[in-house]
């Protein structure tokens, strides 16, 4: 870091957390559930679409490096509210999924709301810091997560059964297309969160696009290999038997024939991604409210805290444990994401016409 600025590599690691966090506990299960052994094809198609959408996001980010999202797009109240709702819902989706998992697997005697409060406190505290602090945390968690992932993948290779990948092309093409679009839309919209920050805060701008695509490819590679090993080790039917198929697959890891329960270390990858993604979501909400409504830091902190309390109450009284049993909730952020990407697309068209 130089003069309280960040570098391109550090900033791009935020992309790894944002794009990976939802897939480990939620979207990976959804993809396997919908497309079975054709999950790889689904992700590849979704990735190609994501690259095209990301180019649109990068266009504004590169053209106006000294402006925030508000300065670049001149959004109205509707788009601001949609962004805030999407951020809150994403925060709820991630934090609740994590709290339910921890409650079911480790803290069985601890009420879910206590775990949620712990996550809320940790993420709220981190989100009150500046982007430099959040980036430093992201760099550390990204390195740890990648090391854990490599260890997991290598350890599970001997457990893979090639027969689990057959038969191929058994999924309805309609399900493959829809799931690919959901993948790309959700993936890209989370990346838009990075558009909140001024690119002038990055001191090596020339390297930004390179690291952006490196982290994007790294994230998709982790997701593909994650699903590859889950299906290869346990078969796609594991998704119908367990709420956390990835975690169930990690239980097959044994080290030196006497070290068991290695999944307790491996699952840290998902936890780190989620915590960091929640930090970024909360920071996004705080930044966009401050930029758009031009309020003082004190009022912004109060609003920020109130929104967190609302998120907590929605998690406890609206979703409850039913959140864990259905994929219907994925439709909510998807619909909002489509609307926001359309607004972004319209903004790009207007920008091109002016120039």
Q: Are 237 and 164 in contact (CB under 8 A)?
A: no
Q: Are 70 and 291 in contact (CB under 8 A)?
A: yes
- The stretch 111-115 carries a mean pLDDT of 86
Whether 346 is in a domain gets the answer yes
pLDDT value at 352 more than 80: no
pLDDT value at 11 more than 60: yes
| Structural domain boundaries, residue 141 | 8-354
Whether 247 is in a domain gets the answer yes
pTM for the full predicted model: 0.80
Whether 155 is in a domain gets the answer yes
Whether 274 is in a domain gets the answer yes
Q: Which two tokens stand for residue 53?
A: 């959408």
Q: Are 103 and 203 in contact (CB under 8 A)?
A: no
- Poorest-confidence range of 124-128, 187-191, 305-309, 325-329? 325-329
Whether 3 is in a domain gets the answer no
**C-alpha dihedral (53, 57, 62, 64), degrees to nearest 10:** 150
Domain count for the chain, please give it: 1
Whether 318 is in a domain gets the answer yes
Whether 77 is in a domain gets the answer yes
Q: What is the pLDDT of residue 31?
A: 84
Whether 279 is in a domain gets the answer yes
- Poorest-confidence range of 87-96, 135-144, 260-269, 283-292? 260-269
Q: Are 68 and 75 in contact (CB under 8 A)?
A: no
pLDDT digits (tens, 9 = 90+) for 302-318: 888 888 888 888 888 87
What's 270's domain CATH number?
Answer: 1.10.4160.10
pLDDT digits (tens, 9 = 90+) for 170-198: 888 888 998 888 888 777 766 666 766 66
Q: What is the pLDDT of residue 191?
A: 66
């Amino acid at each position: 870091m130089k003069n309280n600025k960040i570098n391109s590599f550090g900033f791009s690691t935020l992309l790894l957390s944002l794009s990976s966090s939802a897939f480990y506990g939620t979207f990976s299960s959804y993809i396997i559930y919908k497309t079975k052994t054709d999950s790889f094809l689904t992700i590849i198609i979704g990735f190609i679409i994501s690259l095209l959408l990301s180019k649109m996001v990068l266009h504004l980010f590169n053209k106006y490096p000294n402006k925030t999202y508000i300065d670049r797009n001149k959004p109205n109240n509707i788009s601001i509210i949609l962004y805030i709702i999407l951020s809150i819902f994403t925060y709820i989706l991630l934090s609740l999924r994590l709290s339910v998992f921890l409650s079911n697997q480790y803290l069985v005697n601890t009420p879910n709301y206590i775990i949620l409060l712990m996550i809320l406190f940790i993420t709220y505290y981190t989100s009150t810091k500046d982007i430099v602090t959040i980036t430093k945390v992201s760099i550390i968690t990204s390195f740890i997560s990648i090391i854990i992932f490599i260890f997991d993948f290598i350890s599970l290779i001997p457990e893979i059964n090639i027969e689990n990948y057959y038969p191929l092309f058994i999924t309805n093409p309609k399900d493959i297309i829809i799931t690919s679009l959901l993948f790309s839309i959700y993936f890209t919209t989370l990346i838009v969160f990075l558009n909140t920050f001024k690119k002038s805060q990055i001191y090596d701008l020339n390297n930004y696009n390179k690291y952006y695509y490196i982290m994007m490819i790294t994230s998709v590679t982790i997701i593909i290999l994650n699903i590859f090993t889950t299906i290869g080790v346990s078969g796609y039917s594991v998704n119908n038997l367990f709420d956390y198929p990835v975690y169930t697959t990690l239980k097959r890891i044994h080290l030196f024939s006497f070290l068991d329960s290695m999944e307790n270390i491996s699952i840290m990858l998902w936890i780190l991604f989620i915590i960091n993604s929640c930090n970024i979501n909360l920071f996004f909400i705080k930044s966009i409210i401050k930029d758009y409504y031009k309020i003082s830091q004190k009022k912004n902190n109060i609003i920020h805290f109130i929104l967190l309390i609302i998120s907590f109450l929605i998690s406890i009284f609206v979703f409850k444990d039913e959140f864990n049993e259905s994929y219907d909730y994925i439709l909510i952020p998807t619909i909002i994401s489509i609307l926001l990407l359309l607004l972004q697309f319209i903004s790009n068209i207007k920008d091109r016409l002016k120039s």
